[in-house]
Amino acid sequence: MLKTNCMKPIILLLATFLFIPFLHAQNYDESKVGKYTLPDVLTTASGKKITTKREWEQARRPEILRLFEEHVYGQFPKKYDRLEYTIKNENKQAMNGKDHLKEVELTVYNNSKPVRINVVLFVPTNAKGPVPAFLLVNNRSRRNTAPTRDTLREFWPAELVIDAGYAVAAFYNSDLAPDNKNTYQNGVLQLYPEQIGAENGMKAIGAWAWGASRVMEYFEKD
């Protein structure tokens, strides 16, 4: 069982996305950066100073998220019709009896179109109650997060996480959007075609984050 009270105890561990083939277009020379002034984190767009937690959560934080949507990651659609999940495979004695393995297929529908996310989940068998879960977006070979654990690499140290008493889960980024500037539309964006042509529409990284949010919702449902 996963500890998912309001999602706060879930620790979302996203992969470090390395786009080495595309770095030629990036600027790393600070002298070429134009003049700019970063906005004050604790001042709203209207100039009001933030002094309480309530003001931060209700006023300033939503503004900052909108700035990231507009200028960095693109929009983040929140609406969808429904989420279903199916346990495709289960082993309550995986890792030599140390954990309970579930291979789960999530299907998210919007506008009568589906997208499927294949999740590998390990939960410690000796857990006395709910446990936090680490979630990885796997942007490398599927072998790194294979449920058979026939490929053991530091990229996803599932055994180490289980031994520490946590649950660990992963899904493959291409289930949501291919890591390719020409084909990233073939995935989640088929559910939200209006995003494809929008100047600040969701792109690949946004699609992966969208998928991670759906997996976290599955944690609450299961």
Q: What is the reported pTM?
A: 0.78
Q: What is the pLDDT of residues 136-176, one digit of tens each?
A: 999 998 888 999 988 888 889 999 999 999 999 999 999 99
Query: What pLDDT sits at residue 2?
Result: 56
Q: What is the pLDDT averaged over residues 52-79?
A: 93
CB 133 within 8 A of CB 2: yes
φ and ψ at residue 212, rounded to 5 degrees: -60, -35
Q: What is the pLDDT of residues 89-114, one digit of tens each?
A: 999 999 999 999 999 999 999 999 99
Contacts of residue 76, Cβ cutoff 8 Å, sequence gap at least 6: 69, 202, 206, 209, 210
> pLDDT-derived band of residue 25, with 50, 70 and 90 as boundaries?
low
Residue 18 has pLDDT above 50, yes or no: no
Query: What pLDDT sits at residue 58?
Result: 97
Structure tokens at 215: 């997996």
Could you give the count of Cα atoms lying within 13 Å of 60 in the half-sphere of its Cβ?
16
> pLDDT-derived band of residue 78, with 50, 70 and 90 as boundaries?
confident
Of residues 109, 102, 77, the one with CA closest to residue 167: 102
